[in-house]
Amino acid sequence: MADKLRVAVVFGGRSSEHAISCVTAGGVLEALDRSRYEVVPVGITAEGAFVLEDDEPAKFSLDPQRMPAVADNGTRILWPDSASSREVSVRLATGEVRSLGEVDIVFPILHGRFGEDGTIQGMLELIGMPYVGAGLLASALGMDKHFTKTVLQQAGLAVAPWVAFTPAQWRDDEELWRRRVRGLGLPVFVKPARAGSSVGITRVSSWSGLDDALKTAFAEDGTVLVEQAVVGREIECGVLSGRDGGAPRVSLPGEIVVSGREFYDYEAKYLDDSAARLVCPAELGEGELLELQRLAAAAFEAVGCSGLARVDFFFTGSEFVVNEVNTMPGFTPISMFPKCWLASGMTYPELLDELIALGLAADR
């Protein structure tokens, strides 16, 4: 049998989605076929230290009472200092340096800023290390909701009306920005431009709640969006790059059915099992399904994605409105992205195999 591929699974990170990244990594660590892959688990602490983590998937399981985290164990991952080598080493807490061997590909299971936003992608490209997922530009675009919507709108795709501004712009002409926000009508969603997992998002149904919502969003990022609420079903599709330059492949869609909450917030996603159901495949007519898949592929290409993405829509009954393009979606076995591909005939381990193959073939 040929030598195993050595895969560095990178997770954790400095963003507010640190714990969710750990949960996602737990699913990936458990499912990677150890007869095909040698796995190097690399954790990033909340302070940004790269450490050699334990290869124990159960350590990173989802527990609402005690969310997992990468602790600083004193080790430090030493990446290659140039593109001439792919050898990765670890400096142990004792000071001893030990080689971990040449890494064939990095699987960056990072959500949020300082990982999903092009930062680690840029680092890996500088040292010539292949990796899974979107490149630097698409990662940065997909992380920033304002620029994602700008690009999608330019590509002719329907998005919800919005305004975006910084604290300085708000202070300079608060009356102007309040007028623009009120022009969207109620209700609105107030969102940090660069955050995921619904962190920092507030649904505002009365203008009296706007200021508190802005404060919550600005705590996450220096740019905030206020977006017109769209009434419709929440439908999502998984997208994979085509092989050998082929067209993107789009999964069957899934639907999020929320009960007892105003929207699909952080608690509904991760902490309250009764708050939402993920229905896959979603019930759509044949023509609706084909149109949804066409739009998902168009959004994937408009943002310049590669590898994988999850494209989220609101379906009003007559129109699909793109909500978001997520370049590193949640990846536990029960997350929407793998569930959609399972419904489309691809198992979770097969999906990981495909993503690694796409990463190795990517032309960076």
pLDDT tens digits, 226-248: 999 999 999 999 999 999 889 99
Which positions are catalytic?
17, 197, 270, 310, 312, 324, 326, 330
Per-residue confidence at 222, pLDDT binned at 50, 70, 90?
very high
Assigned token pair, 174: 């608060």
Per-residue confidence at 259, pLDDT binned at 50, 70, 90?
confident
Beta bridge partners of 293: none
**pLDDT higher than 80, residue 270:** no
CA 150 to CA 78: how far, in whole Å? 38
Per-residue confidence at 265, pLDDT binned at 50, 70, 90?
very low
CA 218 to CA 192: how far, in whole Å? 6
Q: What pLDDT sits at residue 1?
A: 39
State the amino acid at position 67 in one-letter form: M
Q: What pLDDT sits at residue 199?
A: 75
User: ω into residue 130 within 30 of 0, thus cis?
Assistant: no
Lowest mean per-residue pLDDT among 60-64, 205-209, 257-261: 257-261
Backbone angles phi, psi at 233, to 5 degrees: -75, 145
CA 297 to CA 308: how far, in whole Å? 11
Q: Are 104 and 129 in contact (CB under 8 A)?
A: no
Q: What pLDDT sits at residue 346?
A: 97
CA 195 to CA 200: how far, in whole Å? 8
Per-residue confidence at 333, pLDDT binned at 50, 70, 90?
confident
In the three-class reduction of DSSP (H, G, I as helix; E, B as strand; rest coil), residue 37 is classed as: strand
CA 227 to CA 277: how far, in whole Å? 25
Q: Average pLDDT for residues 4-8, to the nearest whole number?
A: 97
CA 209 to CA 162: how far, in whole Å? 18
List the Cα angle 156/162/168 in 5-degree steps: 130
Q: What are the tens digits of pLDDT across the range 9-45?
A: 999 999 988 999 999 999 999 999 999 999 999 999 9
**Residue of 22, 77, 89 whose CA lies nearest to 51:** 77
Q: Average pLDDT for residues 200-209, to the nearest whole number?
A: 94
Beta bridge partners of 243: none
Q: What are the tens digits of pLDDT across the range 76-86?
A: 999 999 999 99
Residue that the structure tokens 């994605």 belong to: 305
Q: Average pLDDT for residues 340-354, to the nearest whole number?
A: 96
Helix (H) or strand (E) holding 77: strand 76-78
Per-residue confidence at 268, pLDDT binned at 50, 70, 90?
very low
Per-residue confidence at 290, pLDDT binned at 50, 70, 90?
very high
Q: Which residues, other chains included, contact 141 with Cβ-Cβ below 8 Å and sequence gap of 6+?
A: 147, 148, 151, 303, 304, 325
Long-range contacts of 64-67 (CB under 8 A, 24+ apart): 64/270, 64/271, 64/272, 67/19, 67/22, 67/23
Structural domains of the chain ordered from first start: 5-131 (3.40.50.20), 142-158+231-359 (3.30.470.20), 162-228 (3.30.1490.20)
Q: Are 332 and 27 in contact (CB under 8 A)?
A: yes
Q: What are the tens digits of pLDDT across the range 159-187?
A: 999 999 999 999 999 999 999 999 999 99
Highest mean pLDDT among 57-61, 63-67, 352-356: 352-356
Beta bridge partners of 322: 159, 313
Assigned token pair, 111: 């959500």
> What percent of the chain shows pLDDT beyond 90?
85
Q: What are the tens digits of pLDDT across the range 91-102?
A: 999 999 999 999
Q: What pLDDT sits at residue 275?
A: 61
State the amino acid at position 294 in one-letter form: R
Q: What pLDDT sits at residue 353?
A: 97
Q: Are 204 and 189 in contact (CB under 8 A)?
A: yes
**pLDDT higher than 80, residue 193:** yes
CA 93 to CA 96: how far, in whole Å? 7
Q: What pLDDT sits at residue 364?
A: 81
Per-residue confidence at 272, pLDDT binned at 50, 70, 90?
very low
**Residue of 337, 16, 332, 62 whose CA lies nearest to 198:** 16
Q: Angle, to 10 degrees, between the axis of helix 286-303 and the axis of helix 136-143?
A: 120
Q: Average pLDDT for residues 125-153, to the nearest whole number?
A: 96
Longest dimension (CA), the chain: 69
CA 143 to CA 324: how far, in whole Å? 9
Q: Average pLDDT for residues 316-329, to the nearest whole number?
A: 96
Residue that the structure tokens 């080790």 belong to: 75
CA 318 to CA 214: how far, in whole Å? 32
